[in-house]
C-alpha cells in the first residue's frame, strides 16, 4: 500500500482544514517545499498536493508550488483542486504533476472529465469521490450532490477509471480514525478499483488495517502535522519493517 502524505496549499502555504471548512485553516509551514523534502528524506515517494485556492476559484492557482516541488524533489505528485479545463490540466502536467485528481468536475461536467480519461489516459486521472453520508460532495465540499457514492464510482469504472480517492468528509481532519466500513464496501462493490483512502487517519495502527482491507494507497495529512504519526514510522512501514 502506498503512503501518500498530503500538502494542502492556501496562499502558497502548507495548511490543514477540518471537514473542508476554510474557517478552520491552520498554517503548518510557510514553505511547502521544506515539508516535501522532509517526506522525501524518509523514503516517501508520493505526494498528494491540493490547491485549496484553486478549489475555491475553480481554476488552477498554486501551480508554482507544484512546479517547485516537482523540480526540487523526486516525489510523484498527484495534484487537485479546482481543475476545470483542458488548459488547467495542461498547466498541471507541464508543472510536473504525475496525476491529477478531478472531483467536482466529474459530477458537474461529466463530458469534460470523460474526455480527460480518453485524452490523457486512465493512469493519469484520479477520480475524487468525496462523500458525506455516502453522497458525493463537491465544490471544496461546500455542496452535496444527489449522486450516490458507489454507483458514481461504478459509472466511472465503466469509463476506464482505475484510481479513486475517497474521503469521508465527516472524518477529514478530525483525527478520529478512517471509515473502514465504507472502504470495505467500496472495494467489495467496485471490483479492481485502486482505492486511495483519505480522511481521519489518526494513528499508525490504522495503516496496516487499511492495507489489509485492500486499499491501494492511503493519504495521511493532519496526523503527520500534529505528530500523531512520525515520518520514521512511515519510513519503516514503506520498507516493510
Q: Tell me, yes or no, if 130 is annotated catalytic.
A: yes
Catalytic pick among 8, 88, 168, 172: 8
How many Cα atoms within 13 Å fall on the side-chain side of residue 130? 25
If DSSP codes are grouped into helix, strand and coil, which group holds residue 20? coil
Taking the C-alpha atoms of residue 61 and residue 56, their distance in angstroms, rounded to an integer, is: 10
Q: Tell me, yes or no, if 205 is annotated catalytic.
A: no
Cβ(21)–Cβ(169) below 8 Å: no
Per-residue CA distances from 46 to 89, 103, 114, 182 (Å):
19, 20, 25, 24
Q: Is 145 exposed, middle or buried (0-12, 13-18, 19+ CB in 10 A)?
A: middle
Residues 6+ apart with CB under 8 A from 71: 96
Cβ(62)–Cβ(8) below 8 Å: no
Catalytic pick among 51, 78, 88, 130: 130
Taking the C-alpha atoms of residue 96 and residue 42, their distance in angstroms, rounded to an integer, is: 21
Retrieve residue 107's grid coordinates.
459530477
Cβ(200)–Cβ(181) below 8 Å: no
Residues with catalytic roles? 8, 130
Amino acid at each position: 500500500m502506498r503512503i501518500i502524505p498530503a500538502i494542502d496549499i492556501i496562499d502558497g502555504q502548507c495548511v490543514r482544514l477540518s471537514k473542508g471548512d476554510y474557517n478552520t485553516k491552520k498554517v503548518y509551514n510557510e514553505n511547502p517545499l521544506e515539508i516535501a523534502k522532509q517526506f522525501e528524506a524518509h523514503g516517501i515517494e508520493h505526494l498528494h498536493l491540493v490547491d485549496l485556492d484553486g478549489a475555491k476559484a475553480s481554476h488552477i492557482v498554486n501551480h508554482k508550488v507544484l512546479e517547485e516541488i516537482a523540480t526540487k524533489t523526486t516525489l510523484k505528485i498527484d495534484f487537485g483542486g479546482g481543475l476545470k479545463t483542458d488548459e488547467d490540466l495542461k498547466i498541471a502536467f507541464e508543472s510536473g504533476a504525475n496525476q491529477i485528481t478531478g472531483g467536482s468536475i466529474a459530477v458537474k461536467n461529466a463530458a469534460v472529465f470523460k474526455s480527460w480519461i480518453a485524452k490523457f489516459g486512465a493512469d493519469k486521472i484520479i477520480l475524487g469521490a468525496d462523500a458525506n453520508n455516502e453522497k458525493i460532495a463537491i465544490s471544496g465540499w461546500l455542496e452535496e450532490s444527489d449522486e450516490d457514492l458507489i454507483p458514481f464510482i461504478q459509472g466511472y469504472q465503466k469509463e476506464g477509471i482505475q484510481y479513486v480517492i475517497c474521503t469521508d468528509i465527516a472524518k477529514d481532519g478530525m483525527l478520529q480514525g478512517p471509515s473502514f466500513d465504507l472502504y470495505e464496501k467500496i472495494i467489495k462493490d467496485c471490483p479492481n478499483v485502486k482505492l486511495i483512502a483519505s480522511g481521519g487517519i489518526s494513528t499508525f495502527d490504522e495503516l496496516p488495517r487499511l492495507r489489509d482491507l485492500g486499499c491501494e494507497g492511503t493519504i495521511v495529512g493532519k496526523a503527520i502535522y500534529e505528530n500523531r504519526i512520525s515520518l520514521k514510522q512511515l519510513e519503516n512501514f514503506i520498507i516493510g519493517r
